[in-house]
């Protein structure tokens, strides 16, 4: 029978059946266009039966319109789509969307017109034209992109085209990427590194599913070792995917990659231009993109011939996606490797407890790099008890830490202060009437950003200029900043060490590859004495002259205490500590805390990682928390407060009663208002034996809600707000 079933993007409609026109061959995985009412939709031919659908009589089927000019999705990727949808209680349509994530790529080969400057000058020079010409030196892109780069309207640039100042260039949208060469620059590895590298290369050469946990201290050369796995895949003509938790890390990675392989890898992240996106997507699907480095969304691309997946900094929370399909890229990476039958490397200096547990159970092969490369020693770590050695009034840096910073400044070395809070102050209030600035869309305070003179919500992006008088009582000059953010700490450094050159490193200040490159360059040149940064500076960076790390407030992460608070604090502090003393000079770390005896702080100071993980594992075992039990969250939201509460109540009232599943709530979520939606939450704690997803599907599947209500399921949640 020539009936085919399509997976398409419209989740509400479910799968649709079509007739295969005479002479058309469309095996499973083929990407096709099909009619739907008066419109055309894009779909993926699926195996019959895998996706349930109501049977439409053969006679009523409409024919497919045609095949799209892209290779069919491989069986391994189709299994991944099904597994991801199933495991995360998401719709396969939403996962398919992440696979076919470039509309342009689906249209097939194409050329486009880009523009670049000639040496003509315009007949009439205006300040706008002059600025545009300055900004566009060396650039070549579409008019729209150039307008974005130059910050002028497209009209201004069209004027320049008419005058011959900009000339059109016809380019192939899919021009090939530079080839990486496995033997471009061979490293000389230490014996320990060599052993690990050989294991990776061997696994790639052999092929087959092989999950590795690469557990190596900061500065041990984890990257160097997995590069040898990449080299082996390149030799075999296979592709490699490297997932990084943050675009900020990409710059340094690109440089090292190019040094080793003689050409940059292909990058994939959300801020690619649509032309870059289509070019990368098509090269990935054609198998000509050899190594792809990207954010978690790169995981769902249609690699033609994948040979290895690396998840670097695999413990990072940002691998968990918290909207749309709520998946954990670390875990999906392992599943993808299983379906592709290839090795996968999870690399970290502070692995997640879940990963360590998998190694202990013998499921992952654990490889260790216990010492730093080149004999650099791990830094000394000490705690500074803020209750015994308080900072001056209105300050946050205690005298002993100030002294150590002074010493570094005198020696021409660098210090790093870590505080995981962007902006100047987390709360602003009126001294006169007590008014607090709150986000109109979220149950959250507005954070003052003094550099950009605004108050901002870190949840929804709402912003308002900082007023000069209280909006409630009208009193002028009465606003008080409460608590510190990095900007405020930077001010404090400027006050106590006026001659120090201070750089603030956060996602606000380092929000583009250029700014990151500039920051890294100026630290390397020694043009910065003190870095004040958020979690952005905890990983990846290698600054040999940085010999002191101060953790401004180690207790911050422990507040509010969700399931992973202690682990996250451990990871963040250990990672930021790992920035100290990476060169020849020994590093020192000072952790400011009010609770030096808290197990996580004590373990950090003692450098006793095993003790921390053991205690943490015991606590989790006791609580039935991952990896010993499982959590899921159901989040119910609506713009209408009553509607949200009522839907949550209804879910609560129909809860299943099962021996291995415990259901808590419903209750208002800690962030009870987010982006204008009222939120209620149920938490589910299940034994490992429970069929958690089936239980949830069956439970929610029978309920009906008003259109304004959203019910989101979060399996293995990381966020408990
Ligand atoms: P990790 O990722 O484990 O923190 P990196 O791979 O970033 O460690 O290595 C730390 C530093 O040591 C980097 O600057 C790296 O270039 C250098 N390094 C590590 N191994 C070698 C090696 N075998 N040869 C030369 N440099 C190395
Ligand atoms: Zn908000």
User: Are 46 and 151 within one domain?
Assistant: no
Classify 197 as helix, strand or coil. helix
Model confidence at 651, pLDDT cuts 50, 70, 90, reads very high
Ligand 1 atom 23, closest CA: 189
Q: How far is the CA of 426 from the centre of ligand 2 (A)?
A: 13
The pLDDT of residue 173: 86
What's the CATH number where 268 sits? 3.40.50.300
CB of 229 sitting under 6 A from ligand 1: no
- Alpha carbon nearest to ligand 1 atom 17, residue: 221
- Determine the atom of ligand 1 nearest the C-alpha atom of 221: 6
Q: What is the pLDDT of residue 251?
A: 80
Say whether both 590 and 679 belong to one domain: no
Q: At what angle do helices 353-360 and 609-623 cross, to 10 degrees?
A: 90
Q: Are residues 524 and 393 in the same domain?
A: yes
Tokens at 53, concatenated: 């659908």
The pLDDT, as a whole number, for residue 720 is 85
CA 185, 186, 189, 195: dihedral to nearest 10 degrees?
A: 140
From residue 279, give the alpha-carbon distance in Å to each of 241, 258, 272, 454.
16, 20, 10, 38
What are the pLDDT digits (tens) for 173-187? 888 999 999 999 999
For residue 145, pLDDT over 90 is answered with: no
Each residue's pLDDT tens digit, 33-81: 999 999 999 999 998 767 776 777 888 889 999 999 999 999 999 999 9
Could you give the percent of the chain with pLDDT greater than 90?
A: 78
326 and 395 fall within a common domain: no
One domain, residues 34 and 84 = yes
Q: Are residues 316 and 409 in the same domain?
A: no
pLDDT at 401 over 90: yes
Is residue 542 in contact with ligand 1, taking CB distance under 6 Å? yes
Same domain, 220 and 249: yes
In 525-591, which residue ranges form alpha helices assigned H by DSSP? 565-577
Residues 504 and 414 in one domain: yes
**Which atom of ligand 1 lies closest to the CA of 312?**
2
Lowest-confidence pick of 179-188, 412-421, 493-502, 509-518: 509-518
Residues 285 and 369 in one domain: yes
pLDDT of residue 516: 87
CATH at 89: 3.40.1440.60
Q: Whose CA is nearest to atom 20 of ligand 1?
A: 221
pLDDT single digits (tens) 113-122: 999 999 888 8
On whether both 550 and 685 belong to a single domain, the answer is: no
Is the CB of residue 626 below 6 angstroms from any atom belonging to ligand 1? Answer: no
What residues make up the domain containing 73? 3-100
Is 314 touching ligand 1 by the criterion CB < 6 Å?
Answer: no
**pLDDT tens string 205-230:** 999 999 999 999 988 999 999 999 99
Residue 694 lies in a domain: yes
Q: What is the DSSP secondary structure assignment for residue 510, as one 8-state letter?
A: S
Query: What pLDDT is attached to residue 561?
Result: 64
155: helix, strand or coil: helix
Tokens of 413: 């070395």
Ligand 1 pocket check for 629: Cβ under 6 Å: no
**DSSP assignment, residue 539?**
S
Q: How many CA atoms lie within 13 A of 302 on its CB side?
A: 27
pLDDT at 618 over 70: yes
What is the C-alpha to C-alpha distance for residues 140 and 162, in angstroms, rounded to an integer?
A: 17
Residue 33 shares a structural domain with residue 116: no
| Separation of CA 103 and ligand 1 centre (Å) | 39
**Å from CA of 222 to ligand 1 middle:** 7
Residue 14: the pLDDT is: 82
pLDDT, tens digit (0-9, with 9 covering 90-100), for 311-366: 999 999 999 999 899 999 999 999 999 999 999 999 999 999 999 999 999 999 99
pLDDT confidence band for 1 (50 / 70 / 90): low
Our mutation pick for probing the ligand 1 site, out of 186, 192, 195, 223, counting the most ligand atoms within 8 A of Cβ, is 223
Q: How far is the CA of 189 from the centre of ligand 1 (A)?
A: 9
């Amino acid at each position: 029978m020539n009936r085919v079933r399509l997976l398409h993007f419209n989740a509400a409609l479910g799968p649709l059946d079509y007739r295969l026109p005479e002479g058309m061959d469309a095996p499973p995985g083929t990407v096709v266009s099909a009619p739907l009412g008066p419109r055309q939709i894009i779909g993926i031919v699926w195996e019959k039966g895998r996706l349930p659908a109501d049977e439409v009589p053969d006679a009523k089927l409409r024919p497919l319109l045609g095949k799209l000019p892209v290779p069919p999705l491989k069986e391994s990727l189709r299994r991944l789509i099904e597994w991801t949808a199933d495991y995360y209680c998401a719709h396969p349509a939403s996962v398919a969307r992440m696979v076919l994530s470039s509309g342009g790529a689906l249209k097939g080969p194409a050329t486009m017109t880009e523009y670049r400057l000639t040496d003509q000058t315009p007949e009439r020079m205006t300040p706008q034209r002059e600025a545009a010409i300055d900004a566009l030196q060396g650039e070549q892109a579409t008019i729209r992109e150039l307008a974005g780069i130059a910050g002028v309207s497209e009209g201004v640039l069209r004027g320049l085209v008419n005058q011959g100042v900009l000339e059109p260039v016809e380019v192939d949208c899919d021009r090939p990427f530079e080839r990486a060469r496995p033997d471009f620059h061979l490293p000389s590895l230490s014996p320990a590194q060599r052993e690990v590298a050989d294991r990776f290369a061997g696994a790639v050469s052999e092929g087959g599913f092989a999950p590795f946990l690469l557990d190596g201290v900061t500065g041990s050369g984890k990257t160097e070792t997995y590069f040898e796995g990449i080299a082996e895949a390149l030799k075999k003509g296979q592709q490699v995917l490297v997932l990084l938790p943050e675009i900020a890390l990409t710059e340094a990675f690109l440089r090292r990659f190019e040094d080793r392989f003689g050409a940059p890898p292909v990058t994939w992240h959300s801020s690619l231009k649509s032309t870059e996106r289509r070019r990368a997507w098509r090269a990935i699907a054609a198998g000509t993109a050899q190594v792809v480095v990207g954010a978690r969304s790169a995981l769902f691309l249609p690699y033609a011939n994948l040979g290895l997946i690396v998840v670097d900094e695999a413990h990072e929370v940002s691998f968990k996606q918290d909207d749309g399909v709520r998946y954990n890229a670390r875990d999906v990476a392992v599943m993808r490797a299983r379906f592709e039958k290839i090795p996968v490397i999870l690399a970290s200096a502070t692995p997640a407890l879940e990963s360590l547990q998998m190694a202990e159970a013998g499921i992952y092969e654990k490889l260790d790099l216990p010492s730093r490369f080149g004999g650099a020693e791990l830094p000394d770590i000490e705690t500074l008890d803020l209750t015994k050695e308080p900072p001056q009034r209105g300050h946050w840096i205690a005298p002993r830490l100030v002294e150590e910073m002074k010493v570094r400044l005198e020696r021409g070395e660098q210090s790093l202060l870590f505080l995981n809070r962007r902006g100047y102050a987390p709360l602003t209030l009126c001294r006169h009437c007590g008014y607090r600035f709150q986000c109109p869309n979220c149950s959250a305070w507005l954070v003052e950003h003094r550099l950009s003179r605004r108050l901002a919500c870190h949840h929804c992006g709402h912003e308002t200029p900082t007023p000069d008088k209280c909006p409630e009582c009208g009193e002028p000059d009465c606003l008080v900043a409460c608590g510190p953010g990095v900007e405020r700490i930077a001010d404090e450094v400027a006050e106590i060490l006026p001659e120090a050159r201070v750089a603030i490193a956060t996602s606000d200040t380092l929000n583009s590859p250029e700014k990151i490159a500039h920051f890294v360059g100026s630290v390397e040149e020694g043009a910065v004495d003190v870095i004040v940064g958020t979690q952005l500076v905890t990983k990846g960076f290698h600054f040999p002259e940085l010999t002191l790390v101060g953790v401004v407030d180690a207790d911050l992460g422990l507040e509010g205490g969700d399931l992973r608070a202690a682990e996250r604090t451990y990871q963040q502090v250990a990672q930021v500590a790992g920035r100290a003393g990476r060169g020849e000079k020994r590093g020192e770390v000072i952790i400011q805390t009010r609770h030096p005896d808290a197990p996580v702080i004590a373990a950090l100071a003692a450098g006793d990682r095993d003790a921390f993980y053991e205690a943490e594992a015991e606590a989790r075992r006791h609580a039935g928390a991952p990896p010993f039990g499982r959590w899921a969250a159901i989040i119910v939201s609506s713009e209408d407060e009553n509607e949200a509460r009522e839907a949550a109540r209804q879910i609560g009232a129909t809860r299943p009663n099962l021996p291995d599943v415990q259901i808590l709530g419903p209750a208002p979520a800690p962030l009870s208002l987010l982006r204008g939606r009222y939120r209620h939450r149920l938490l589910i704690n299940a034994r490992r034996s429970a069929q958690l997803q089936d239980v949830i599907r069956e439970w929610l599947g029978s309920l009906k809600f008003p259109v304004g209500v959203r019910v989101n399921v979060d399996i293995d949640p990381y966020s408990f707000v």
